[in-house]
Structure 1
């Protein structure tokens, strides 16, 4: 009988110890210095972080009473900083007057009902992810120049200035590499990197390790571009994870942060607060007028910004 009562007594003492709860309150903040070193584990935790932190906060209040409240508050503050931090404005500067090009990206889930929203975005260059032949035909009147490659992934680039396909999708390149002409020429990477998590649908997807490899290879390709470059599309890389920091670490500017950003995965993954659609501009280029716009029926919001050479300071 004595052995049976030792563990519950110790457990109650541990739960009532303020030092235990203060340690738990401090522990989540170790995420910031350690997250990239966690590798694939960190990538997975980054995806589920808001939900995981919320459940831990509820459990802390239920088990720890007043000291548990301290831990819960710390968890909520940590999750807020981790999630909202990459949404805060971080403007690299204005685009040079008369040199800007409006670029939009939209994962339309192959739904023709999104076409009015695509037209209303009024972008000069439009990237359509999960495109389809019917959507391609519907955009013909609005965009005289286009590159559409059906398949896995299915991506289209629609433009009001001439465009030229440089490289089509392949096993190690989930997107299109396109030359965009006009007043501010650039190379566009129109991307749909496969999901690094299970969806149950059997659709185009990858393991976290495969996803990270594809992002690494894309970052290396972009770094080798001799001139201006823009990366747009559904990268399936949350902005609080290692893959996003890898891309911006290459000198790419997150043009959506010319204003407040926010989640772009808006249906079944809404609780995870994922911003996985990105519009990144290469060194020497800036972004203005960032926005998100709804795509009826799609599980994504569209994104848009004006990109171009940075104005002289």
Structure 2
């Protein structure tokens, strides 16, 4: 009877160790991926895709640690804690907007960015989404001629100032505003933008701002092209950052960057402009995809990543940021930011 109990415990321990083999394999994968992310950033298309799923790759990590604590697996505990040191800030970042001091008196205005989907055949829903959000300025990507005609027809009274460059397909761009706007004599370098970036000056309450409406190159295509597009997207981010660095007026950058906050292109932008979601957004602010897409015939769950942004220069302040109403057709949700000209605490 005395020999049976130790044998049972030994068998039980072996079984527990065996059950933790997948957990160890997961931890090894996370360790290799985090090391490659740190050294190579987004160099290859497959690493770009993995980095886009940072939240989902790291999400099991706390549960592995908890299971290891319950099962008294010292190696797994130590390995999990080691990975949580760099992993925890990445997990927490999308849910933790930074804290800003109290605000001065100001005249606020709202900006909305919305990739409406070039194949969108429901102008009425686009109009309804804009009216529901009630922004003062709307920057649109993938604007097609049918939607542009509806904007001119149905929203001309509310948004009398319009700079529309509609195209069939995905290259159309457009800005509408309650405030006077004019096209600026400036442009961003590069010929791989999805639609030519728009640069407009708008007379908002409190002064004049410059708005960049941009749509960065997407990551999907043939394998070699996907790796090339990673570098091209970073060059586009560098072009925006350079424009912001040299620009002396308050600046708003709005659009679809086709990159998440875990990608190098986003970090390049962060050197010169401020992501309003990190200041005043609530939750993760996921904007893509709508859940209507399929990958190899498998439905993709809705709203997995954040790739649509409003960035501002440091002479503007954001008081609120939210995900805008979905029109039920586009594969993106809009982002709406409330801003004023001036720095916090002046």
Place the TM-score, normalised by the shorter chain, in its bin: 0.7 to 0.9
Q: How does 1:24-173 map to 2 (within 5 A)?
A: 25=27, 28=30, 35=37, 37-39=39-41, 40-41=43-44, 42-53=47-58, 67=73, 81-93=89-101, 96-110=104-118, 111=120, 112=123, 113-140=125-152, 141=155, 142-151=158-167, 153-166=171-184, 167=186, 171=191
Is the 1:187–1:229 Cα contact (8 Å) retained in structure 2? Answer: yes
Higher Cα Rg, which structure:
2
* Matching residue of 1:229: 251
* Matching residue of 2:304: 273
Deviation, structure 1 residue 192 = 0.8
CA distance in 2, matches of 1:271, 1:79: 24
String of CA shifts for 1:51-94, please: whole Å, max 9, x gaps: 5557999999xxxx955975689879976742541342114456
Is the 1:51–1:271 Cα contact (8 Å) retained in structure 2? Answer: no
* Matching residue of 2:204: 182
CA distance in 1, matches of 2:302, 2:86: 17
* Matching residue of 2:297: none
Q: Normalization by structure 2: what TM-score?
A: 0.70
Is the 1:193–1:214 Cα contact (8 Å) retained in structure 2? Answer: yes
Deviation, structure 1 residue 29 = 6.5
Match of 2:236 among 211, 214, 217: 214
Q: Normalization by structure 1: what TM-score?
A: 0.77
Matched pairs, number: 295
Aligned CA distance change for structure 1 residues 38 and 144 (closer, same or farther; 3 Å): same
* Matching residue of 1:310: 343
* Matching residue of 1:253: 274
Is the 1:107–1:128 Cα contact (8 Å) retained in structure 2? Answer: yes
Deviation, structure 1 residue 297 = 1.5
Is the 2:160–2:178 Cα contact (8 Å) retained in structure 1? Answer: yes
Q: Which residues of structure 1 form unaligned runs of 5+?
A: 1-11
CA distance in 2, matches of 1:43, 1:109: 23
Is the 2:261–2:306 Cα contact (8 Å) retained in structure 1? Answer: yes
CA distance in 2, matches of 1:271, 1:138: 28
CA distance in 2, matches of 1:20, 1:206: 34
CA distance in 2, matches of 1:235, 1:218: 11
